[in-house]
Structure 1
Amino acid sequence: MGQTTLQGVPGILRPFKEYIEKWSLPAGSEVVFYGVPGTCTPFVELLCFAIRSLPLTLIFVPYTEEDKAQKLTMVPDIGFQATNACPPKNPAVLVIMGGLAMPNMPVGADDVASVINRWKGSGTIGVCFMHMFQKAGWLD
């Protein structure tokens, strides 16, 4: 089987959608995104848009502060927006954004590992650009 190289925004969104679809998650399942406010949120909104046809509950957690989590809702003519408080209750999938691994962030690999351990049984996906997880040593 050959390697496929995808580029640009579709190169992120299409594989993400295909991966989430393969899970066949039941309606209402939580997909929880952990990322840096302002830096990661536009990418999270794009990822949500890619899976907008799936009946999922989409949540954004700033850094790893679940008490500050917001539900992401499709707003007509706008796109996905944070709409109201919605701490995760039973995530089916955790999406860890690479912005968390950037230098000078208030979280580290241990903080993210704690989140993953807290939600054992949830699937985990990492989304990053420019090998951020590798550069930060998070995959060691």
Structure 2
Amino acid sequence: MQVINTGQGVGGILNGFRALVEDSEKITFVGTPGFCTPFAELIGFVVRNKQLAFIPNLDFESAKTLLMTKQGMQLGDSTDPSADTVVLLGGLAMPKIGVEAEKANELVGRILNGKENGKVIGVCFQSMFSQQKWEEVIAFDYIINADLDIKVMEV
């Protein structure tokens, strides 16, 4: 694994992601409802001109479109989540969620449905995919990993 780009803050995540999916037509995000959904909406904003979908947990049949509305990026109607790019969000790998990497990998195969040039991208914080050894099970093409430095200040 080699670092191909670095950045800071939210802009670093968004710009890095946009560059990775330039040639993608349809992108399906997979994550936990609630925790990962806003991240899919945030990341999806920079590629809002593409076809986007969100799968909660690993429930293929519950996929929804992710679209730009007057209120910002939001989930829409049910959709077929088959895509040429899959984005696994790190919340799935958190131990308390209970998702197995093997099951996530099966879902990746179902979403890509045999596409030869399909991409698998992980987006996580604090090296979650590495910590939980998902990199040993899933053939990620790219992982965007961000570290958080939090300060709570009293003023």
Q: Classify the TM-score, shorter chain.
A: 0.7 to 0.9
Structure 1 residue aligned with 2:46: 50
Alpha-carbon distance, 1:67 to partner: 0.6
Structure 1 residue aligned with 2:78: 85
**Structure 1, residues 25-75: CA drift from partner, whole Å, max 9, x if none?**
4xxx321000010001111101111112x3x21000001101111111101
* Counterpart amino acid of residue 83 in structure 1: G
Structure 1 residue aligned with 2:153: none
Structure 2 residue aligned with 1:64: 58
Are 1:128 and 2:128 counterparts?
A: no
Structure 2 residue aligned with 1:111: 103
Separation of aligned partners in 1, 2:108 and 2:74? 25
- Contact 2:67-2:76 at 8 Å conserved across structures: yes
Q: How many residues align?
A: 130
Separation of aligned partners in 2, 1:107 and 1:87? 22
Structure 1 residue aligned with 2:149: none
- Contact 1:73-1:83 at 8 Å conserved across structures: yes
- Contact 1:30-1:58 at 8 Å conserved across structures: yes
* Counterpart amino acid of residue 85 in structure 1: S
SS at match of 1:87: coil
- Contact 2:28-2:86 at 8 Å conserved across structures: yes
Are 1:8 and 2:4 counterparts?
A: no
Give the counterpart of 1:94 among 82, 86, 100: 86
> Structure 1 vs Structure 2: percent identity of aligned residues?
37
- Contact 2:60-2:107 at 8 Å conserved across structures: no
- Contact 2:5-2:16 at 8 Å conserved across structures: no
Alpha-carbon distance, 1:106 to partner: 3.6
Single out whichever of 124-133 and 4-13 deviates more from structure 2: 4-13
* Counterpart amino acid of residue 40 in structure 2: V
- Contact 1:61-1:70 at 8 Å conserved across structures: yes
- List runs of 5+ in structure 1 lacking aligned partners: none
- Contact 2:18-2:47 at 8 Å conserved across structures: yes
